[in-house]
Amino acid sequence: MTKLPRQTAIALVAASAFAAVSASAFDLPHWLGGKSATPVITASTNLQPQADVPNTVPLADARALVPDYREIVKRFGPAVVGITVSGMHKASAEEAGPAGNDPFCQFFRGIPGLPQGLGQRGGSQSEPFSGQGSGFIVSADGLILTNAHVVRDAKEVTVRLADRHEFAAKVIGADPVTDVALLRVDAKQLPTVRLGHASEVEVGDRVLAIGAPYGLEQTATQGIISAKGRSLPGDSAVPFLQTDAAVNPGNSGGPLFAGNGEVVGINAQIYSRSGGFQGLSFAVPIDVALQVKDQLLKTGKVEHARLGVQVQDLTQSLADSFGMASPDGAVVSQVSPHSAAERAGLKAGDVIGQVNDTPVRHSGELSSLISMAQPGQDVKLKVWRDHGWTTLNARLGALQDDAQAQANLGDQADGTPQIGLALRSLSKSELHELGVQQGLLAQGTDGAAQRAGIQEGAVLLAVNGKPLASVQELRQQLDKHPKTLALLVQRDGQRIFVPVNLG
């Protein structure tokens, strides 16, 4: 229901009062503050009370009314900050501009002066960069939340308040998995936002974003929550809030306010084929961000749990084939060796329908529940198998950040054959951009690999016909002391098997 303008409301009340004085029984609607179903009797009449009449005017939910955006900006805008960063980094596909058919673009992309990514530079040379983002103060003694990608590789971070005071900021920690970072500035008695709960907002609720799009500080835009629990390609650990509030490069890390003025999310990504806003943006729920913040504040790092499965959504046809009544759940398509899932007895074809007491309707919900749990935590999995439900117990393992996992297989001291590769796992967004489910990026080559023609920047997809999802899987093949390895390599969109002689 639309909130009536103040002048209109006053006019209606005045007209009502005038009607009462002129010897008419008139009942103010409940939504204007009247006493529902109670007749109004004027002093100048002897009319008898009327029978109760149902109030046909629908009651307005306070959350459906237009929020006082002016008051939200005035009260909490001073706690929203602009962030500038500079440093040196080696670009990956995550910094590339909108590429191919991938419309999911982080807000850092497209800022003037930023590197434009692997696709335009070759991706192996470090060079200076600078960028802009947003953030918000969560404690008066200088704690600030923003996105991890805003401060990634930054050597210098500067925070600018709404009153134009500037402070050098220290990065306490950043978590690439959830894209949340925590900063601290040396200041006291700073303005702060009021934190809410993302679980309390619903689709259709009005929201307000404040940030610094394209460096234009203290810019406010409004919209609604258009979806909840959205799982994005490469970001399955976060159940994003989806909104149509206009956000652009530079808004990244800024707060998303609910209509009551409480922060319910951190603006993190947009859906765009142009690099600018096209009607869809995504925010990290504040509940997730605060959980990350507490770990960063305590230890400077965040631990995420790992079950060790690849899952997909359950469709109606799959549900029918499994004998399930409804297509709710996450289908296990692959179980990783030596993982918590394998130890718990999970198999490909199992459908996970519940984790502890929380139902799982989509695969993204399972990924989020597991990722935000703690390594070593025991969970009960409700699993559909052989046309019936069973319960499995799993002790979760630890998720090593794929974007940071590195290994050098060129210097083996235990007699294991040397292959001459410096490798790292591909990030989730890199996997999505390349259109592969797993792979390792060659950051350096030497020895046998170099002689075989494998160059820096190549992506290793499989070894001896087996998919490569981790450096450890390649180590296991090398531990067998083979004379040759057949590596499936992808470069410039082409795939080829390369024999590597280790003899």
What amino acid positions are annotated as catalytic residues? 149, 179, 252
**DSSP assignment, residue 237?**
E
Tokens of 227: 């979806």
Sole residue written with tokens 């953030």: 135
| Residue 53 C-beta-side C-alpha neighbours within 13 Å | 14
Contacts of 234 (CB under 8 A, 6+ apart): 104, 427, 428, 429, 431, 432
CA 276 to chain centre: 18
**DSSP assignment, residue 380?**
E
* φ and ψ at residue 119, rounded to 5 degrees: -65, -20
Tokens of 243: 């909104």
CB atoms near residue 369 (< 10 Å): 21
Are the CB atoms for 114 and 131 separated by under 8 Å?
yes
Tokens of 107: 């807000």
Task: Give CA–CA dist 45/174, Å, rounded.
Answer: 74
Task: Give CA–CA dist 265/242, Å, rounded.
Answer: 10
**DSSP assignment, residue 3?**
P
Are the CB atoms for 261 and 72 separated by under 8 Å?
yes
Radius of gyration of the chain (CA): 28
Task: Give CA–CA dist 94/427, Å, rounded.
Answer: 8
429-to-191, 235, 372, 435 alpha-carbon distances in Å: 35, 8, 19, 10
Task: Give CA–CA dist 267/207, Å, rounded.
Answer: 12
Task: Give CA–CA dist 135/266, Å, rounded.
Answer: 8
Task: Give CA–CA dist 415/48, Å, rounded.
Answer: 104
Are the CB atoms for 496 and 445 separated by under 8 Å?
no
Alpha helical stretches, state H, 128-169 = 148-151
Are the CB atoms for 341 and 307 separated by under 8 Å?
yes
Sole residue written with tokens 């002790």: 395
First vs last C-alpha separation in the chain: 77
Contacts of 61 (CB under 8 A, 6+ apart): none
Q: C-alpha angle 434/438/443, rounded to 5°? A: 75
Sole residue written with tokens 């913040």: 293
Task: Give CA–CA dist 254/283, Å, rounded.
Answer: 9
